[in-house]
Amino acid sequence: MIEVRCLSKRFGSVDAVHDLTFEVPPGQVTGFLGPNGAGKTTTLRTLLGLVRPTSGGAFVDGVPYQRLPRPQRVVGAVLEASSAHPGRRARDHLRILAGLCDVGDRRVDEVLDLAGLREAAGRRVGGLSLGMRQRLGLAGALLGDPRVLVLDEPANGLDPEGAAWLRGLLRDMAAEGRAILVSSHVLSEVAQIADHVVIIAAGRLRYAGPVDGLGTGVVSARTAQAQRLRDLLAKEGCEVTVTDGTGVRVRGMSAEQVGEIAAREGIPLSALSEEGTSLEAAFLELTREAGQPAGAR
């Protein structure tokens, strides 16, 4: 179980992650989504003790990663597309990692099989394809048979077959009761396997919840008093944006409710409609207003 609590990280003047809170429950795949530069990698690296948070923190089973006595036995992580020395043979790379989490050569062979790297075990990492190196990274993360798996953009460099293999593996791992956190900047990569998604943009949380909850409609209205309507709806707790002066886009309220409020306040509407959005559209919608609080535009 992973908990990120009020996590903030500044790099100089850059607010990389701001007041981020979410949980990764066991037995599920949690997708961690956001555009490039949203702060996903910073969050994951903070969670794994590689980056110090400016405030707040991240916890694995209630303690910071650095305090885990045998971290590889609890958390398996793949953060780099390639994190093995190019001159080292694949099996040697795994043996070295195995030496630090007290598992034997038998386990090395097991993860080599699991990752489909048996034939490549004797080759130097520099000669492996990017996809094979990704598999090697995953094999290394699985050495300690961890309860938690953290993967940063694992699908980069995988061919369609490899991506399908990865999805199957993650699903199986989740079914075994492990907590799995997978980051990606492409929703469709994760939507197929994730039960839960956490979406961030510009270091701020935009959405945390079930994948199904994402596709909820956006209400779009048109009125000459767009600014006034926006302020009213924002006060009701909706996420509102004004587009090209007279358009208002609302999330978190039905068209009916928007119409009622407009009528009550005497705001004439020239158009009112509810758009059922696809997951991808919802994702884009959520991450577009990056950095601006709801209703600021």
Listed residue (222, 235, 225, 236) closest to 270, CA to CA: 222
**Cα distance between residue 178 and residue 1, in whole Å:** 8
Contacts with other proteins, 20-59, as mask; x by CB under 8 A = ---------------------xx--x--xxxxx-------
Which residue is associated with the tokens 């979410």? 22
Please give the sequence-ordered ranges of beta strands (E in DSSP) within the chain, or none if there are none.
2-11, 14-24, 28-33, 55-60, 75-78, 148-152, 179-184, 196-201, 204-210, 218-222, 239-243, 247-251, 271-275
- Residue 20 CA, chain-centre distance (Å), reads 12
Told to check if 72 binds other proteins by CB under 8 A, we report yes
**Cα distance between residue 23 and residue 9, in whole Å:** 18
**Cα distance between residue 36 and residue 77, in whole Å:** 20
- Shortest Å, Cβ 91 to other proteins: 9
Q: Which of 31, 131, 140, 162 binds other proteins (CB under 8 A)?
A: 140
Q: CB nearer to other proteins: give 14 or 164.
A: 14
Helix, strand, or coil (residue 152): strand
Q: Which of 79, 132, 169, 202 binds other proteins (CB under 8 A)?
A: 79
Told to check if 95 binds other proteins by CB under 8 A, we report yes
Q: Which of 6, 25, 55, 80 binds other proteins (CB under 8 A)?
A: 80
Among the candidate windows 25-33, 84-92, 225-233, 271-279, which touches other proteins by CB under 8 A? 84-92
Q: Which of 27, 35, 37, 88 binds other proteins (CB under 8 A)?
A: 88
What residue ranges bind other proteins (CB under 8 A)? 11, 41-42, 45, 48-52, 65-66, 68, 71-72, 75, 77, 79-80, 82-89, 92-93, 95-97, 99-101, 140
